Structure 1
């Protein structure tokens, strides 16, 4: 179950594993088949952990790897719009873009995106 702010709680039908790496500017969801999106990464501020929740600010950009191997960046228009609307500081913009650029390559070439996550996905199937 996940929830964005005060929106309704969401429950995924397919098995999935979510990654909240400390000190990084993204989160990742690794989805089981038949979902077409194999890996979905949100560009976010670094996560903060408390006793009962994990919080971060979604910075709009998403890196998506489909099951056929296609990788795309989504919501670049929202990111550009929100930079102006919300006055994102230059450091936030730079960190978000750098994380996005890194993820586009990492979801194809680097762990945990190539195979490590499959071990954890097997545990929740």
Structure 2
């Protein structure tokens, strides 16, 4: 994949309702998965809410078999890495990637702070949406693995995203 066509990125909630969604440019693929990017000024929407404009460029990584996605933001954005714990990304069409957002987020701020966010939302939604036990365990295990990987600066959380980010603007 390197034809840089537009793709649709669609996160849903476990009940199937539309969550964050936007258009991105497909950049290519490597050992970590499929990469897509958005230039500075791109927007995304949560459900039917008004669009949110991102002042800096960012790239997203969709792993082939991981229960997560990752966004890497260009400086000076305060968040350097933002990982959504989600079901394994699927491609129902060549121009659409979709996954179920499972609430937990692994975040690395540009100042180096790394943390797991939205544990309360995960606990609330696992009851509301009746997450099956295997989904709960996969989400928690994925969050744990990602926290460790981000903390030790393992790829793709070290430098590989910079080359992809350079292709966006």
Q: What TM-score results when the alignment is normalised by the length of structure 1?
A: 0.91
Q: How many residues end up aligned between the 2 structures?
A: 125
Alignment match of 1:73 (pick from 116, 131, 151)? 116
Partner of 1:64: 107
Partner of 2:158: 114
* Pair 1:28 & 2:70 matched: yes
* Pair 1:16 & 2:58 matched: yes
Cα distance in structure 1, aligned partners of 2:83 and 2:133: 22
Alignment match of 2:130 (pick from 87, 90, 93)? 87
Any unmatched runs of 5+ in structure 1? none
CA deviation digits over 1:57-95, x for unaligned, max 9?
A: 000000000011110111000101111111100000000
Q: CA deviation at 1:2?
A: 3.8
Cα distance in structure 2, aligned partners of 1:14 and 1:108: 24
Q: CA RMSD in A?
A: 1.5
Q: CA deviation at 1:123?
A: 2.0
Question: Larger strand proportion, structure 1 or 2?
Answer: 2
In structure 1, the residue corresponding to 2:111 is in which secondary structure?
A: coil
Q: CA deviation at 1:10?
A: 4.0
Q: What TM-score results when the alignment is normalised by the length of structure 2?
A: 0.69
Cα distance in structure 1, aligned partners of 2:106 and 2:53: 21
Cα distance in structure 1, aligned partners of 2:86 and 2:121: 14
* Pair 1:41 & 2:76 matched: no
